[in-house]
Structure 1
Amino acid sequence: MSLDPSPIKTAGVSHFSTIDPQAGELFSVNPGVCVEDALEHASCLMNCVNQLTLLGATEENPGATIWAAHYLGEMAKAIIDDVATGLFRARGHA
């Protein structure tokens, strides 16, 4: 078994936190991050989302908790979308 000398990287094309339709998104995923590292980070973000939504479901006034979960979910989705683009490009599909 040989190790691949060039690991697959994020593409840097996914954005998140839309300000308004004309201004676009405030943040983006950086290109060149190893997909394994990016997916690990997305998994950690989704764990936070799961904990916050459970907490929010039991709070009397869950506003801040739910918004925090929403923004973390946006980040995780952008990472996963960007990893997918990097994988497609590495396989010659884009």
Structure 2
Amino acid sequence: MDNETPADHGQLGWTVGTCTCLEGATKGTRLFRVEPGNCANYAMEQASVLLDSARRASFIGVMDNEPVLVWASHYLSDMAKALMDDAHMGMVKNV
């Protein structure tokens, strides 16, 4: 595994760890939270990957009448939003 730190690592800032995603069973609770201290650049890259997966799952789910893929798209989109929002908070804090 490559242990070298990329040159742009942390340039934009770091995740703050306040954004959550996916509703819990109890009203007002959430299942997942973004971890603080992750590189915002990397978080945004991963959000892009999640959104691409969500787009593909949504398209296939609708075209093939597969509701489970549409739900997967919903969950992936929620995760991507949390990552993007948290990275943005870290970028604004870094300015």
After TM superposition, the score normalised by the length of structure 1 is 0.84
Distance (whole Å) between structure 1 residues aligned to residue 14 and residue 74 of structure 2 = 26
Aligned to 1:17: 22
Larger radius of gyration: 1
Q: Which runs of 5+ in 2 are unaligned?
A: 1-6
Q: Distance in 1 between matches of 2:9 and 2:77?
A: 32
Q: Residue 57 of structure 2 aligns with which residue?
A: 52
Structure 1: give runs of 5+ residues left out of the alignment.
Answer: none
Q: Distance in 2 between matches of 1:63 and 1:69?
A: 10
5 Å matches for 1:37-48? Answer: 37-48=42-53
Give the CA RMSD over aligned residues.
1.8
- Whether contact under 8 Å (2:16, 2:86) holds in the other structure is yes
Cα shift readout 1:43-74 (whole Å, capped 9, x = no counterpart):
000010110111012113x2110111110001
Among all aligned residue pairs of Structure 1 and Structure 2, give the percentage whose two residues are the same amino acid: 31
Aligned to 2:72: 68
> Partner of 2:34 in structure 1?
29
Runs of 4+ in 1 over 4 A off after TM superposition: 3-6
CA pair 57-11 structure 1, distance change in 2 beyond 3 A: same
How many residue pairs match? The answer is 87
How big is the shift at 1:21? 2.0
User: Which SS does the other structure have where 2:17 is aligned?
Assistant: coil
